[in-house]
Chains A and B, each alone.
Chain A
Amino acid sequence: MRQYFIRRALLVVPTVLGVTLLITFLLQILEGNIADLIYAESATFNQELTKEQIEDDLGVNDELLGSRSLGIFVQWGEWMGGVAQGDFGEYFRSRRSVGGELENRIPVTLELAGLALFFSLIIALPTGVISAIRQDTLVDHTARSFSIFMLALPSFWLGTMYFVVVGRWDDWGLPQSIGDWLLPPSIYKDVWQDPEANFRQMWAPAMILGFALAGSVMRLTRSQMLEVLRQDYVRTAWSKGLRERTVVTRHAIKNAFIPVFSLIGVQITILVSGSVVLERIFGLPGLGLMLIEAVTQREYVAVQGVLLVVAAFVVITNFLVDMVYSLLDPRIRYA
C-alpha cells in the first residue's frame, strides 16, 4: 500500500514540473516578439530600463551555453526558483504582484468549482441510482435522455438566458422580490464578508456548471450501479429476501460509487474549464477571468502563473482522488 502511495506521489512532482516546462516552451517558442509588443504598448519612452526589464521578466535573452533554445531552460529555472519562494512575478505595466492576484482569485474559482461539484452530485447520484434500479423503464429512458440533454446544453447559453430571464422578470409579471434576489450583485463579495450576496452571485453559475457535469456523472453512476447489481453478492442479498431499499443502500451503492469518485478527478478539469465562461458572464473575479485578461493584455507572466496553479491543482486533485480510490477499492492497490 505504501509503495503504491509513494509511487504515485513521486509522479506528481515531475508532472507538475513538466507542465511548467510546457508552458514556458509554449510562450517562448510560439510568439517571438512578445517583448516588442509589450514594450511598445507600455508606452513609456524610458527605453533602456523598461524593455530590458520586460525581456528579463520574459527571459527572452537568456542563453545557456550560447544557445537560445537551451536558454529557455534558464528562463524556466528562474521562474521556478521564484515560484519556490512564492514570487510569481509581476505584471509588466502596473507592476502588481501576480502572486497577490492569484491569492485573490483562487478562492473564487475554488468556491465556484466546489459548489458546482456539489450541485452536480446531488443531481446525478440519485438519478443514476434510480435509473439503474428501474432499468429500461420510462424513468430510465427519461433520465438518460435528460443526462445527455444536460451535457449538450451550452453553459454560456444558459448563462446568457439567465440574464435575459432576470431582465424580463418584471415584464412577465413575476414576483418582484424574487426577481431582485435573482439579480447577482455587481461587485463581488467574498463568502466571509457577505455570505448572502456571495451565494446570490455563485448559485446560478454553479448550478449551470453542475448541470453540465451531472450528465456524465449520472451516466457513469448508472452503469456502475448496473454492474454492481449483477454481482453475486447482490443476488445473495435478494435471495435472502431483503427489501429493495436495503439491498441498494446497504450493499450496492458503496461499491458503485467508488469509480464515480474517480471520475471526479477527471471532472475537475472540466469544472475548471467551464468556469472560464461562467466567470465571464457572471463577472466573478476568478482564475478563468484572470487568464482571459492576462492573455488579452499579453501579460504572459500572469498567464504562466495561472496555468501553473491550475495544472498543479488538477494534478494534485487527481492524485488525491487516486489515493482515496485505492483506499476504498483494495483491488487497485495491488494492480
Chain B
Amino acid sequence: MAVREQAIPLEAFEAAGPPAWRRWLAGCLRFARRKPLGAFGALILILTVVVAVFSPWIARFPYAEPHFSDALQSPNGTYWFGTDSLGHDFFSRMVIGSQVTVLVGLGTVAVAALLSVLVGGISGYLGGRVDMITQRVVDVWVALPPIFLLITFLSVLGTGGNGFLGLGRGPDVALDPKDGDWIWYTFFRSSVVIFSLGIIFAGYGARIVRSAVLAVKENVYMEAARSLGASNVRIMLRYVLPNIMPLIIILASVNLGAAVLAEATVSFLGFGIQRPFPTWGGLLDVDGRVYGVGHEWLSLIPGLAIFICVYAFNMLGDALRDVLDPRLRGGR
C-alpha cells in the first residue's frame, strides 16, 4: 500500500458523506422501523408539544369564556368536545390544558435529570466520605412516597399566582394577555409543581446515575486522563458525562410518563395548578366526576388523553432503552 504523499485536507473528509441532518434523519427512520411503538410514542410527544405551544391559536374559544345557554352540550359542530356545565368549550380547555401536561412533564424531567446527574455523578465520582453521606441523604430522600411529599410541598408552598416558585418574582400569573394563556405564563404558574416533582424524582435517578458512574470510573482511559493531569471537572464533563448520556436519556423518558401521571394525580386531588386554569387531571376531577354520568365525554376525554400520553411516553422510554443500552433491555 503506497503512502499518500499529500495530506488529505479535512474538509474533503467532512464533505464526503451525507450532511449531518440527513444522517440524523436516517437514524430516526431506522428507529421508527425497528421500534414502531417507540416511534408512536415519539410522535405523540411531538404532537403534544406542538399542540401546547400553539394552543392559543388552536383553541377555538378562550378557555374561560362562558356560554351559559350552551351548557353541557355533547360534542357537536361548534363545540368539538362539547361543553361543560358553564358552557366552556371543552376542546379549547383540553388544548390549553396540554400546556400544563407538556410543561410539567418536560420540566420535571429536565430538573430531575440535572439534579440526579449532579448529585449522583459527583457522589459516585468522588467516592469516599462524600459518597457515603450523599448516599444516606438520598436514602432519606426516597423514603417518602412521592405523592405524599408532593402534596405536602404544594400545600406549604402554595400554587397561587405568586410568580416563580411562589416567591413573587416574574410575570404576574393573573395576566391573561390575549384570549388564552401563552405557554410562558403557564410556566410560571406551574413552576412550583415542576420543581417539586423534579426534586422528588431526582432522588431515584441519583442512585442509578451513581452506579453507572461507578462503573465508568473503572475504565482505563479514565486513569489515563488523570495521569495526564486532567482536572476532575474536565474528566467528569468529557469522559463521564458522554458515557452516561444514554442512561440519562432513558431515565428522562421513563420519568416523563411518571411525571405526567403524577401531575394529573395531584391536580385531581385538588392540589397542583388551581382551577379554573384547565389541567387534564383537574378537568377529570371537577367536570368528569361530578357531571360524568350522563355526560360521559367529560370524563372520557381527559382520562383518555392522560392515558394515551402516559402510554406513549412509556413506549418511547422502552424503545429508547432497547436501542441505547442493550444491557438494560426488558428482553429482546
Chain A interface residues (CB < 8 Å from chain B):
11, 14-16, 18-19, 21-22, 26-27, 30-31, 132, 135-136, 144-145, 148-149, 151-157, 160-161, 164, 167-168, 219, 222-223, 226, 269-270, 272-274, 276-277, 280, 288, 291-292, 295-296, 303, 306-307, 310-311, 314-315
Asked whether B289 is an interface residue with its Cβ less than 8 Å from the other chain, the reply is yes
B155 CB contacts on chain A under 8 angstroms: 295-296
Listed by A's residue number, 17 A-B pairs whose Cβ atoms lie within 8 Å are A18-B143, A19-B143, A19-B144, A21-B140, A27-B152, A144-B330, A156-B264, A156-B265, A157-B306, A160-B299, A161-B299, A167-B293, A269-B142, A274-B147, A277-B147, A277-B269, A306-B148
Q: Which of B309-331 contact A (CB under 8 A)?
A: 310-311, 314-315, 318, 329-331
Cα–Cα distance between A296 and B151 once the two chains are bound (Å): 10
* B145 and A310 form a contact (CB under 8 A): yes
Cα–Cα distance between A88 and B269 once the two chains are bound (Å): 26
Cα–Cα distance between A148 and B209 once the two chains are bound (Å): 24
Known: A19-B143, A295-B155. A223 touches B331 (CB 8 A): yes
* B145 and A157 form a contact (CB under 8 A): no
Q: Which one, B37, B144, B285, B299, contacts A311 given CB within 8 A?
A: B144
Known: A154-B264, A168-B293. A314 touches B145 (CB 8 A): yes
Majority secondary structure of chain B interface residues (helix, strand, loop or mixed): helix
Q: Which of A157, A222, A288 has the most CB of B within 10 A?
A: A157
Known: A168-B293, A295-B155. A14 touches B136 (CB 8 A): yes
A14 CB contacts on chain B under 8 angstroms: 136
Asked whether B332 is an interface residue with its Cβ less than 8 Å from the other chain, the reply is yes
Cα–Cα distance between A135 and B329 once the two chains are bound (Å): 14
* A161 and B144 form a contact (CB under 8 A): no
Given A148-B318, A157-B284, A157-B306, 16 more pairs with CB closer than 8 A = A11-B139, A15-B139, A30-B153, A145-B37, A154-B264, A154-B306, A156-B264, A160-B303, A164-B293, A164-B299, A222-B330, A223-B331, A274-B147, A288-B148, A291-B151, A314-B143
Q: Which of B138-195 contact A (CB under 8 A)?
A: 139-149, 151-153, 155-157
Asked whether B292 is an interface residue with its Cβ less than 8 Å from the other chain, the reply is yes
Q: Which of B260-289 contact A (CB under 8 A)?
A: 261, 264-265, 268-269, 281, 284-285, 288-289
Cα–Cα distance between A42 and B129 once the two chains are bound (Å): 48
A145 CB contacts on chain B under 8 angstroms: 37
Asked whether B80 is an interface residue with its Cβ less than 8 Å from the other chain, the reply is no
Cα–Cα distance between A45 and B24 once the two chains are bound (Å): 71
Q: Which of A149, A153, A222, A273 has the most CB of B within 10 A?
A: A273
Chain B interface residues (CB < 8 Å from chain A):
37, 136-137, 139-149, 151-153, 155-157, 257, 261, 264-265, 268-269, 281, 284-285, 288-289, 292-293, 296, 299, 303, 306-308, 310-311, 314-315, 318, 329-332
Q: Which one, B37, B145, B318, contacts A272 given CB within 8 A?
A: B145
B134 to chain A, nearest CB (A): 12
A135 CB contacts on chain B under 8 angstroms: 331-332
Q: Which one, B143, B148, B296, B314, contacts A148 given CB within 8 A?
A: B314
A234 to chain B, nearest CB (A): 15
Q: Which one, B37, B141, B148, B303, contacts A291 given CB within 8 A?
A: B148
Q: Which one, B137, B148, B296, B314, contacts A273 given CB within 8 A?
A: B148
Cα–Cα distance between A306 and B299 once the two chains are bound (Å): 32
Q: Which of B157, B288, B308 has the most CB of A within 10 A?
A: B288
Kindly report which residue of chain B lies nearest to residue A226, judged by CB atoms. B331
Q: Which one, A151, A270, A292, contacts B151 given CB within 8 A?
A: A292
* A16 and B148 form a contact (CB under 8 A): no
Cα–Cα distance between A19 and B203 once the two chains are bound (Å): 13
Kindly report which residue of chain A lies nearest to residue B137, judged by CB atoms. A18
Cα–Cα distance between A26 and B151 once the two chains are bound (Å): 12
